[in-house]
Structure 1
Amino acid sequence: MASLKELRARIGSIKSTKKITSAMKMVAAAKLRRAQARAESARPYASAMRRMMAELAGATVGEEGGPLLLTGTGKDKIHLLVPLTSDRGLCGGFNASVHRLTERLIRRLQSEGKTVKLLPVGRRAISYFSREYSDLIVDKIMGIPGDVPFSVAEGLGVKINALLEAGEIDVCELVFNKFINAMSQVPQKQQLVPLVVEDAAETSAVADENKALYDFEPDEETLLFRLLPKNLQVQLYAALLETAAGENGARMTAMDNATRNAGRSIDSLSQVYNRTRQANITNELIEIISGAQAV
């Protein structure tokens, strides 16, 4: 059995940890409100961009010489996976869920004879995949600021577009956690290249008789060449905002659980401490009484 000194030290240590986890929970909660508002504000804009691309793409789908971001290279051999994670830990299984989904995709694609490349975003993704799949990594992005500036998505979009134009990839898929609420973040994948026009069209489906007619100036093809890179950046930015909101939600939940567990541990150790202290006092009294009787 531990001594009273050891129990006091352990209780003091857990109390200090409880203060830290409680403070981290409050900080994550404050950040979550801002991150959630930004992620929810970006969703309609990203959805509108997909609908716009669906309207414009009808004129060029299937034609030769179309934008690579829309039509792809015409092959399905080389796949680029872009896992998005946080830069920091202490957020439960938030990052591990992206790792698992990405690994499943890697194994499935490799079993089909496809070549897989990785472009991890976030320190946790870089650290994990550098250990497990270092030979697949073609580039990496780390050190994402907490406010997630659009320049991060812009730079990532430029990297993906450069790989596509150089013929180094045929398909690009994004793996990230979609923010639902503070308790739930759902890992999912989204194909970025080539653009999945059918999915975008379904989200904006309306009755044919109610569809508006558009006049495009300049023509649809010119607009696509200009807007497709911007659409790629917008989809990446929306995913980065979802990741930021999910990270803070997961961290708030994890720190709340840690604080509760610390409180239960303190209560349990306090009971042990009190029982041990009472037993020591009883033993001392017995020794004193026994000594007095012996005299």
Structure 2
Amino acid sequence: MGAQLRVYKQKIQSAQTTKKITKAMELIAASRIQKAMARVKAATPFARAVTRAVSAVATHSNVDHVLTREPESITRSAVVIFAADRGLAGAFNSQILREGLEVGEMLRAEGKEPVYYLIGRRAVGYFQFRRMEAAAEWVGDTDSPSFDTAEAIANTLLEAFRKDAAEGGVDEIHLVYNRFVSMMTQQPENVRMLPLEIAEAEADDANTTQVYPLYEFEPDAETVLDNLLPVYIQSRIYNALLQSAAAKHAATQKAMKSASDNADKLITDYTRLRNNARQAEITQQIAEIVGGADALAN
């Protein structure tokens, strides 16, 4: 009985230590998610403004630009997967990796070769463990993304997009990331970013009645697109990074709260078992004393 009591005591102490850790991580995630949501809210108006500007240029000019031209045949497609550098976030990383691989399988079924670009150590580790190839990797900046990271990703993707598919380039670019919906919901998103689809820009303003004025482009529409579209790509990628970071912190908070609740349940269960074992030990000792007293009396 004494050994059993020691085992239950050790398990209770272990559960209490785990609860302290998970509770601290829950509070840290709760403080970070407010900052992440504020950054998403601050970056969204700029992304929408750039989207409207690109939509206006592409709609009101008949220029044939490489970034808006739909290719006759698509042979290679870039799939950018936005994962996280850390785990302990429930199904955050697994669901976005599953979504990215499903997008790759869908593209492969259409006769296209998927080319993966990975963001986050979890995605890189997943591909390395399964010995899958990736064209480029970015790690270390997923909890609080900086615009420099978005700019580096955008430059790499634009360079691959401008390159011919036969020379290792890509014909289209898909972004796969977790979109922050609420504290309890993080929804995987698959967006084709290039070639530019004007329908995406119109969808952002579906509830408005804004009428675009007539435009004059100086020096010409093609030069405007050359300078405007890279900014559009950077803003979209930066917004995806911020959305993914906010979704990750929300998933971490939810997972750590669930872990703390489970630790509470374990502590309650082991405390009950320890009390039962102690009561059984006391009962046995009383029975032995009474038995010994009866033996001496007889």
Identify the TM-score tier after normalising by the shorter chain: over 0.9
Aligned to 2:36: 35
Contact residue 74 and residue 170 of structure 1 kept, 8 A: no
Q: Which residue of 116, 131, 146 maps to 2:114?
A: 116
Give secondary structure in 2 for the equivalent of 1:174.
strand
Contact residue 106 and residue 116 of structure 1 kept, 8 A: yes
Paired residue type of 2:219: P
Contact residue 118 and residue 124 of structure 2 kept, 8 A: yes
Normalized against structure 1, the TM-score is what? 0.93
Cα pair distance change 1:202/1:3, threshold 3 Å: closer
RMSD value over aligned CA atoms?
Answer: 1.8
Contact residue 25 and residue 251 of structure 1 kept, 8 A: yes
Aligned to 1:222: 223
Give secondary structure in 1 for the equivalent of 2:119.
coil
Deviation, 1:147, is: 2.5
Cα pair distance change 1:260/1:162, threshold 3 Å: same
Aligned to 2:286: 285
Deviation, 1:72, is: 5.4
Instruction: Report the Cα distance in structure 1 between the residues aligned to 2:42 and 2:235, rounded to whole angstroms.
Output: 12
Instruction: Report the Cα distance in structure 2 between the residues aligned to 1:262 and 1:96, rounded to whole angstroms.
Output: 24
Normalized against structure 2, the TM-score is what? 0.92
Deviation, 1:266, is: 0.4
Aligned to 2:147: 150
Aligned to 1:267: 268
Task: Say which is worse superposed, 191-200 or 281-290, in terms of deviation.
Answer: 191-200
Instruction: Report the Cα distance in structure 2 between the residues aligned to 1:109 and 1:120, rounded to whole angstroms.
Output: 17
Aligned to 1:139: 136
Contact residue 85 and residue 143 of structure 2 kept, 8 A: no
Deviation, 1:130, is: 2.6
Aligned to 1:191: 192
Give secondary structure in 1 for the equivalent of 2:178.
strand
Cα pair distance change 1:171/1:285, threshold 3 Å: same
Unaligned runs of 5+ in 1: none
Aligned to 1:95: 93
Matched, 1:126 2:124: yes
Contact residue 60 and residue 215 of structure 2 kept, 8 A: no
Give secondary structure in 1 for the equivalent of 2:279.
helix
Aligned to 1:4: 5
Cα pair distance change 1:293/1:202, threshold 3 Å: closer
Instruction: Report the Cα distance in structure 2 between the residues aligned to 1:237 and 1:139, rounded to whole angstroms.
Output: 17
Deviation sequence 1:78-100 (CA, Å, 0-9, x none)? 11100001100000001111111
Unaligned runs of 5+ in 2: none
Contact residue 75 and residue 171 of structure 2 kept, 8 A: yes
Paired residue type of 1:50: T
Instruction: Report the Cα distance in structure 1 between the residues aligned to 2:68 and 2:215, rounded to whole angstroms.
Output: 20
Instruction: Report the Cα distance in structure 1 between the residues aligned to 2:182 and 2:209, rounded to whole angstroms.
Output: 33
Instruction: Report the Cα distance in structure 1 between the residues aligned to 2:28 and 2:183, rounded to whole angstroms.
Output: 14
Deviation, 1:145, is: 5.6
Contact residue 28 and residue 251 of structure 1 kept, 8 A: yes
Instruction: Report the Cα distance in structure 1 between the residues aligned to 2:75 and 2:214, rounded to whole angstroms.
Output: 38
Deviation, 1:73, is: 4.7
Deviation sequence 1:102-149 (CA, Å, 0-9, x none)? 1111111112221111001111111112333613x1111111163311
Deviation, 1:218, is: 3.5
Give secondary structure in 1 for the equivalent of 2:68.
helix
Deviation sequence 1:133-171 (CA, Å, 0-9, x none)? 613x11111111633110000000011011112221001
Contact residue 56 and residue 224 of structure 1 kept, 8 A: yes
Deviation, 1:207, is: 4.9
Paired residue type of 2:125: S
Paired residue type of 1:164: F
